[in-house]
Structure 1
Amino acid sequence: MDESRSKVLLEGLLTRDGINCSCCSKVVTVLEFVAHAGGQPSKPYRNILVDGLDNDLLHCLISAWDKQSDSERQAFFPVSTEGDDPNDDTCGICGDGGNLICCDGCPSTFHMSCLELEELPSDDWRCANCSCKFCQEHLNHDAPDNAEVDSLHSCSQCEEKYHPACSPETEDLSSVSNQAGNHFCQQSCRLLFEELQNLLAVKKDLEPEFACRIIQCSHENAPETVLDLDGRVECNSKIAVALSLMDECFLPIVDQRTGINLIRNVVYNCGSNFLRLDFHGFYIFILERGDEIVSAASVRIHGTKLAEMPFIGTRHMYRRQGMCRRLLD
């Protein structure tokens, strides 16, 4: 349709592989179809009206996303810490059970050997997630009597905890840390975060027919991103497809204590009050051929020196063709 929705520019049939164009009888991508019709390429999903639904493709995608159950769209998975044993029963480092020591600041537990401790900590002991990355203390004893300065903040990029007063770049960060609800322990994390946000949903053409992009699930009430509604809807739609790809590649991995589907929560960028189940901050790198997602990798970047990639997979029909190499090069 044209922008006024008063004139049909081109017709086609929606299929799993793309849109079968009535003009040339070829299956093309959404962008190619809109360009072929002479529509606005920056808002392709708004310009395609679905016959019989009296709605554009953008709102059809929103409707499909909203049809998921509340648990499927859940952004944070709280684990109950009430009862006789509020702590986790699994080591936060190796994932095994056994004789564990408990953090006094959160439900996390650890093997002494995993922490490279030779004897039990005395008095109050906090794990790394409950301590400042700079002073290694839970409380900042050198800071003035100020709750804001003394409290631990979580860096929106590296996820590590820090006291604002302990950051070597406190003055430089004070003006940007509270924008959109984000906090940063240092400038390098802020710059990396902003660069990743600017890359969200941006298509990078590779060799003929292939392209890659970075996507991330956008939950309700999440901090603002650089993406507009169209971009967030497109990202979430591709996230759902990326999950189906991962389910095709891996057997389900379910946490025994909570029943949480780990692969799903990684792909959907879900948080938790249990550190080992907190997958907030994951991006999905995807390789596309036209509108089809060929390969996907889950990546979380911790600062400027470390990144984790627990899952990477390729659809069966594209395996043994170097698709993962194309994605990661």
Structure 2
Amino acid sequence: MEVNGRKRQSWDQQLHKLVFEEDGLPDGTEVAYYARGQRLLEGYKKGFGIICRCCNCEVSPSQFEAHAGWASRRKPYVSISDALQLPSYAHIYTSNGVSLHELAISLSKGRLYSAKDNDVACIICADGGNLLLCDGCPRAFHKECASLPTIPHGRWYCKYCQNMFMREKCAEHNANAAAAGRILGVDAIEQITSRCIRIVKNIEAELSGCALCRACDFSKSGFGPRTVILCDQCEKEYHIGCLRTHKMADLREIPKGKWFCCSDCGRIHSTLQKLLIHGAERLSDSLLDVLKKKYAEKGLDADINIDVRWRLLSGKFASPETRLLLSQAVGIFHECFNPIVDAATGRDLIPCMVYGRNLKGQEYGGMYCAVLTINSFVVSAGIIRVFGQEIAEIPLVATSMANHGKGYFQLLFSCIEKLLAFLNVKNIVLPAAEEAESIWTDKFGFKKLRPDQLSEYRKSCCQMVIFQGTSMLQKEVPTDQLVSSIERTELYKHMNQGRSYFL
């Protein structure tokens, strides 16, 4: 019966996934978490998750529940007692009082389950044989065990499903549904299917849109004022007409090649490209002293002759040498993290981020991979993306397991920080897992972003990477590392001559 239990658990997951599929709950539908008749948290449905109003991040239903302060519950769609087959109700509701669980059940009634989805033994006696399959769940029954005189014609629902349907019919009478806006005598499910519910209009407007007017409309044909163009460095979107109005650019056609919204973005992009060509750079003696100190603390030979370098990489400018380094970086990230899987395609996103490749729905083309090498082998790696002068992100960092505690990432982070200072970038943001948050705050000087700060950042940097279950941290680039225009001119000369430029 354990196999049957696993199948039913899988069915529960399939049931609730219906809410987030294309013909389920419309994107932008306002939802809220209710408990004991009180609304605890608001959000709206987007894609395969919920945009939480407390942090403006896309979260799963279970994380939405945790943000509402009810993390102890096992299932966000149904209460604990419902999971134990006791009469109860759901907690995430639409604006007209329909729970996600009730909606999932309604959606499931229009779908048939194939034989491969059903149990292989009777739920009553645990024997096989000729089994009657329920059209609402994976359960299977002998006709006699289900107390049926004959095999029913058409669709048939077992008593478990019938009882569940009856409980959901009573949903409009519970305190949470009433508080969420359920009206007696009104078909709430029909309201959802006919879109007669509160839906956030232009949900992308909260995260994207023209950087000047914030509107998300664009011209689908031809070239005109509502044609949208994207800056190839900061990745902000602009209407052609808005660029003219604000006297930023008077474009008569879409430019060929790269286009930058300002001279700062052009300078940043040019510098990063030069860095890719520049290749690996040996670390300064002051940074190597930090490494030797770490070696001494670990009881290692601090006088050992090692070649420590750092460099910036991109899959768009790959050679046999850099492809090897990029593959080593991917290996380190996979060693330290579980695969980061795109919900829509099922593809692992780590290689896309390391190589700077765009994926449908995921824009990673502006990402670079910074690596620290010991004797030409990668020991630490970090993904960076610069959204203009205001902000840069570091979505992933890792050091190989065999090299933890040796100070390698501290060196790499110093290199990244000096690079951002050289580019005159003001702030660094990154997502931090709970167990790593104290390291970033205590050791590297990061602070937790307030929800309003994160919301503002996401409006100007809509492609910013935010992982579920992490906190967003921020740090100002140290002012003592900022580079003057005169110093930068001199350093550019050094860079063009293939010499060390800021370390």
TM-score (norm 1): 0.55
Distance 1:289 1:147, change over 3 A: same
The gaps in structure 1 that reach 5 residues or longer are 1-81, 92-97, 219-226
Partner of 2:213: 135
Q: String of CA shifts for 1:6-60, please: whole Å, max 9, x gaps.
A: xxxxxxxxxxxxxxxxxxxxxxxxxxxxxxxxxxxxxxxxxxxxxxxxxxxxxxx
The structure having more radius of gyration, on CA atoms, is 2
Are residue 154 (structure 1) and residue 252 (structure 2) matched? no
Partner of 1:197: 273
Is the contact made by 1:155 and 1:185 (CA closer than 8 Å) also made in structure 2? yes
Quote how far apart the aligned CAs of 1:121 are: 6.7
Quote how far apart the aligned CAs of 1:319 are: 1.6
Is the contact made by 2:352 and 2:359 (CA closer than 8 Å) also made in structure 1? no
Is the contact made by 1:154 and 1:161 (CA closer than 8 Å) also made in structure 2? yes
Is the contact made by 1:213 and 1:287 (CA closer than 8 Å) also made in structure 2? yes
Cα distance in 1, alignment partners of residues 263 and 309 from structure 2 = 31
The gaps in structure 2 that reach 5 residues or longer are 1-20, 31-41, 58-94, 96-197, 285-305, 415-503
Cα distance in 1, alignment partners of residues 337 and 203 from structure 2 = 38
Cα distance in 1, alignment partners of residues 402 and 54 from structure 2 = 44
Cα distance in 1, alignment partners of residues 340 and 46 from structure 2 = 25
Cα distance in 1, alignment partners of residues 206 and 229 from structure 2 = 13
Partner of 1:286: 371
Is the contact made by 1:88 and 1:109 (CA closer than 8 Å) also made in structure 2? no
Cα distance in 2, alignment partners of residues 148 and 109 from structure 1 = 35
Are residue 296 (structure 1) and residue 235 (structure 2) matched? no
Cα distance in 2, alignment partners of residues 86 and 234 from structure 1 = 48
Partner of 2:51: 110
Partner of 1:317: 402
Is the contact made by 1:209 and 1:290 (CA closer than 8 Å) also made in structure 2? yes
Are residue 217 (structure 1) and residue 315 (structure 2) matched? yes
After superposition, residues 56-95 of structure 1 pair within 5 angstroms as: 84=23
TM-score (norm 2): 0.38
Q: How many pairs align?
A: 219
Are residue 248 (structure 1) and residue 335 (structure 2) matched? yes
Q: Percent identity?
A: 24
Q: How large is the RMSD of aligned CA atoms in angstroms?
A: 3.9
Cα distance in 1, alignment partners of residues 235 and 25 from structure 2 = 23
Distance 1:122 1:216, change over 3 A: closer
After superposition, residues 154-173 of structure 1 pair within 5 angstroms as: 154-167=230-243, 168=246, 170-171=248-249
Quote how far apart the aligned CAs of 1:157 are: 0.9
Quote how far apart the aligned CAs of 1:88 are: 7.0
Distance 1:169 1:285, change over 3 A: farther
Q: Which has the higher contact order (CA 8 A, sep 6+)?
A: 1
Which stretch has the larger CA shift, 128-137 or 301-310?
128-137
Cα distance in 2, alignment partners of residues 151 and 216 from structure 1 = 30
Where 1:134 maps in the other structure, the secondary structure is coil
Structure 1 or 2: more helix by fraction: 2
Where 2:341 maps in the other structure, the secondary structure is coil
Is the contact made by 1:216 and 1:282 (CA closer than 8 Å) also made in structure 2? yes
Cα distance in 1, alignment partners of residues 239 and 251 from structure 2 = 12
Cα distance in 2, alignment partners of residues 260 and 151 from structure 1 = 31
Cα distance in 1, alignment partners of residues 240 and 322 from structure 2 = 33
Is the contact made by 1:169 and 1:186 (CA closer than 8 Å) also made in structure 2? no
Quote how far apart the aligned CAs of 1:139 are: 4.5
Which residue of 28, 41, 44 maps to 1:100? Answer: 44
Distance 1:192 1:317, change over 3 A: same
